[in-house]
Amino acid sequence: MTNSQNIVTFANVDVSFGALKVFENLNLDVRKGEILTILGGSGCGKSVLLKLVIGLTPWQRGEIVVDGDTLDLSDDDLMLSVRRKVGMVFQWGALFDSLDVFENIAYPLRERGVRDIGVLSDRVKAVLDMVGLAGIEDKMPAELSGGMRKRVALARAVAEEPKVLLYDEPTTGLDPLNVRRISELIVSLSQRLGVTSIVVTHDLASAYMISSRIAMVESRKIIAVDTPNAMRRSSIPEVTKFLEAMPLSHPMEGL
């Protein structure tokens, strides 16, 4: 029975690509409204975990539940409904280079059938205001800095008012000032919109500052899930070794 306090649940999930086993018996609960950060070594499957939530990656065994819906890749209507509840911010933004900022943000709304230009304009303006980029609707992606592109991608992800936001390495390639800015946005949007956030990152400072809880992937499963303070004090050897090896760069006290 699914706990009503959880919005995403992985139960005994196995994922393989041919002979490569990515997850074996993956179990993880994501609580409504929390910011859960996923840590782990490169190639351990962190981004695969995000793609499982929206059915972009198949699994061979187990059950995945999103907002009460048990995922079934053979049910197109179900998967479309689930995907409309989930927004994703890709590692490099994944903006359409041929479209201006307005059309990039309006794209998912148009895909849902919104045609009224007034409704589109109001929504685009609202989400750009949320990410601190008011008035840049006419700019092309090539005119934006790396930090601005990430924030436009975030604006696009929240335009559909999702219940869950997935972030794949949201601070990669950014300077410390923009890392702080994106981290603050993740927290503020979580609080303002009541959205649940799942964040994959290599940035330990950001993870400590934004997370309600941190989950660590090791040996094809989740080996620990706890608050940032508890993770710092963990007695699990793999957790201790991993955290000690990660650089704690550009700390963001007071976030």
pLDDT digits (tens, 9 = 90+) for 152-192: 999 999 998 999 999 999 888 888 888 888 899 999 999 98
For residue 147, being part of any structural domain is answered with: no
For residue 159, being part of any structural domain is answered with: no
Q: Which two tokens stand for residue 119?
A: 């409704």
Query: What is the pLDDT averaged over residues 183-203?
Result: 92
Q: Is the pLDDT of residue 24 over 60?
A: yes
Give phi and psi for 184, each to the nearest 5. Answer: -65, -35
What pLDDT was estimated at residue 254? 37
For residue 224, being part of any structural domain is answered with: yes
> CB 247: neighbour CB atoms within 10 A?
9
Q: How far apart are CA 131 and CA 103, in angstroms?
A: 17
Count of domains forming the chain: 1
Q: How far apart are CA 212 and CA 208, in angstroms?
A: 9
For residue 133, being part of any structural domain is answered with: no
Residue 13 sits in a domain whose CATH number is 3.40.50.300
Q: Which two tokens stand for residue 122?
A: 């109001």
For residue 254, being part of any structural domain is answered with: no
Query: What is the pLDDT averaged over residues 75-95?
Result: 88
For residue 151, being part of any structural domain is answered with: no
CA-CA-CA-CA torsion sign (63, 66, 70, 74) = negative
Higher pLDDT, 45 or 230: 230
pLDDT band at 1 (very low <50, low <70, confident <90, very high): very low
Q: Which two tokens stand for residue 52?
A: 């499982």
Asked whether the beta carbons of 24 and 44 are under 8 A apart, the reply is: no
- Residue 4's Cα: distance from chain center in Å? 21
For residue 7, being part of any structural domain is answered with: yes
Q: Is the pLDDT of residue 91 over 80?
A: no
Residue 221 carries which DSSP code? E
Task: Give the closest residue to 133 by CA, choosing from 120, 147, 119.
Answer: 147
Residue 171 carries which DSSP code? T
For residue 13, being part of any structural domain is answered with: yes
- The residue segments making up the domain with residue 78 are 1-85+164-177+196-247
- Residue 97's Cα: distance from chain center in Å? 22
What pLDDT was estimated at residue 65? 97
